[in-house]
Amino acid sequence: NRLGTPIDNDFFVGVNLAGFDLEGADLYGVNLYGANLQGANLKDANLAEAYLYKVNLSGANLTRADLEVANLYKANLSCADLFGADLSHADLSGADLSGANLENAYALETDLSNSNLTNAILNSTAMYSAILQGANMKNITYDKYTSFPPRTEKDLNLDSSF
């Protein structure tokens, strides 16, 4: 169940890859619409510009994955491990990131509008240019190295003392 070569663009539409080991896979620009990758290992995978609309990535390991410019609209990333992942310019609007680990992740100019970040870990996350309009950030964990967009701490009444 291990892939390391480029994959045809529509190969994974709606497919069930729950629990698969896709570590280091080159999935650049792949269409994974509606796929189930619950608990999959996508550590160090290249998912840049991938179409991940309504994909189930709950509990998936996306450590250091490249998700630049990926479309994750309404994706389920609850309890996913996104440690060190690059989400720059990605669309995560309406996504469920509840309980996700985004520590050391890059979310530059990332659209997180109307997403659910409840109980997410945002320690040392670079998100100073992210779009957070309507995002649920209840009970998030962050530290002094987390960079929020201007006014976010004030608007969300986040405790900025450490």
- Say which residue the tokens 């992210």 belong to: 130
pLDDT of 6:
54
51/2 Cα distance (integer angstroms): 21
Q: Are 55 and 78 in contact (CB under 8 A)?
A: no
Contact 74, 92 (CB under 8 A): no
Q: How many CA atoms lie within 13 A of 54 on its CB side?
A: 5
Cα–Cα distance, 28 to 127 (Å, whole number):
23
- pLDDT tens across the length of the chain (162 residues): 345 555 555 667 899 999 999 999 999 999 999 999 999 999 999 999 999 999 999 999 999 999 999 999 999 999 999 999 999 999 999 999 999 999 999 999 999 999 999 999 999 999 989 999 999 999 999 999 999 988 665 566 554 434
Q: Can you list the alpha helix ranges (DSSP code H) found in the chain?
A: 152-155
Phi, psi of 67 (to 5 degrees): -120, 25
**Contact criterion met (CB below 8 Å) for 14 and 33:** yes
- In sequence order, the β-bridge partners of residue 51 are 31, 71
73's CB contacts (< 8 A; 6+ apart) are 53, 54, 91, 92, 93, 94, 95
Find all residues with CB under 8 Å of 136, minimum gap 6, and list them. 115, 116, 117, 118
**For the chain, how many residues are written?**
162
Cβ–Cβ < 8 Å for 160, 140: no
Q: Which two tokens stand for residue 83?
A: 């440690």
